[in-house]
Structures are given as structure tokens and as C-alpha cells.
Structure 1
């Protein structure tokens, strides 16, 4: 399979298209044919040299979440996962690849009507945004200030606060 690999820390020029063996689903895992990866800013920081702070050393395949279709399952995994559209959620390593093996407990089914690009975009920010909104307990009629309202997380928080009935101010 094709994958993007970081062979040394640096800028985007260190991302190398390479061939790697196809992953196999181990016990409790599924293989996902990756359609869309979730890229987040911290990936650029890790690639730029922060890798050791995260326990990452080159060479490595970046990425921590992706959306696609389950093509195979390992021992102990319900075969009904095969053919399902899923997000392989945060903590799924090496998603800058055509395929990735992921623990089945990290798979989230993508509902009908939601595209894989949108599902992948929610992998990190959706989880964090939901946690913030639940922790804050936004109520209808409240005023809510969202800092960084134009970024991925901010855009999501604006929508979630609005859906909760708040008056939203974005900065």
C-alpha cells in the first residue's frame, strides 16, 4: 500500500510517498480502507521536531484519525463491521496511508447522510467540542463567547452553542 512517511523532522518537504506492507487485522482490530484523514495542527508540530515530546521518532507514518470503509476484521471482532463506513477515531496511529489497522473500540459508525470528509473532520474536534459544551452546560438564552471562532474547533463550538439556544459571540 502507499503511505506518507516522515523520515526526519522538518517542514512539509520531509513527507515522503512510500510503499509499505498492507496491514493485517489482529485480534480486536479491523482494517479500514482510508478515504479521508483527519489532519490537525499538532501533526505539523510533531513533524517539525516536537515528536520526541510525544514519544515519536522518525521514520513514522503520521496521522491519528481517518474515515473509510472496513475491509477486514480480526479475531474476536463481529464480522458485521465489514463493509461499514466508519471513523477510526483519535489514537489510531499511522492514518496517512491507504489502509490502517485500528482497534475496534476506536471505530465509530458513520451515519447515513453524513459524508466521510465531514465525519473525519469531527474525529478530534467533535469529541473535544462535545466535552466542552457538556462541561459548560450551555442553556438557552445565555450569551457565549467563542474565542477563535473561525478555526475548526471554534466553528464547531459556534454551531453547538447556537443549537443549545445560546446567543453566540465569535472572536
Structure 2
């Protein structure tokens, strides 16, 4: 049952949530928080962050358990929860708080990536190499566009969730 739900999450929910911005914004200029704050779709933004963070949390956790990796469960949960909370911070005109949601999002996503660097070495298998190549491409897109755009956010959210899910389900003997 849980395995079926993960397929629904990755290939239906994540797909829908990551396609919608292409209809609302210029994904190569604006970002997801623009949808939530300026276009008044905070529920969409929350659902997108929740779905992405769930994928990062759950699939990483299952992979690390499968690989017998001793990871910090509380830190992992706080990092993924922080991704959701940072997207819930509204844009503010006060200079110091103006970009708080952006910097917190960067902090939590960077922390998630660092977890992977600490817990899974690159030479473990082809899946870990794909994960790091995908992360590298995300950085390339960010530098190519000059800032974190909706495309960068969508790319990292969508492809990372798919890669982690694929990594998890490719072992037919693994039980969810």
C-alpha cells in the first residue's frame, strides 16, 4: 500500500505541483515565493514545499535505513521541516526581513545536500553519483540564471524526489 502511495506522490502530486508554475509565472525569472506572496497562492506554495520536503525526508530516511547509515534523525527532520516553514514566511518590506524566506530556504536545502555529502559517499553506487550530478546541475542552473528562479526550485524538487524514489524502489526486496 505504502509503495503505491509513493508512486502517486512522486509521479502525480509532484508532477502537478511542479507543472503549475509554468502557467503562472516566468519560471526563468520569478521564483516559487512570488507565486505564494505576490500572486496570492500561499496554499499552493505550502503544498509544494510540503510535498518536496516530504519526498526529501521520507525517501532519504528509507535509503539511509536500507544502507544502514547512521544519520541524525532529529536533524534530518528539522531540516525538512525548516524547508516547509521557510516557504511559509511572507515577503516583508522591512529591509532585514525582506529576504528571510529566501535565506532560510537556502540554508535548509544546503543542509539537506550536506547531509548527503556526510552520509553517502559518492563512490557508493550509481544512484549516489546521479544524486550528486543532479545537485551539480541545480547549481549550474542557479548560476546560469543569476539567481534562484522557479525553474531552479522546480528542477531540484522534482528531479531529486524522482531520483530518491527510484533509488529506493529499484531494490525489489525492500519493503516500505
Do they superpose with TM above 0.5? no
TM-score by length of 1: 0.24
Structure with the higher helix share, 1 or 2: 2
**Structure with higher RCO (Cα < 8 A, 6+ apart):** 2
Which is strand-richer, 1 or 2?
1
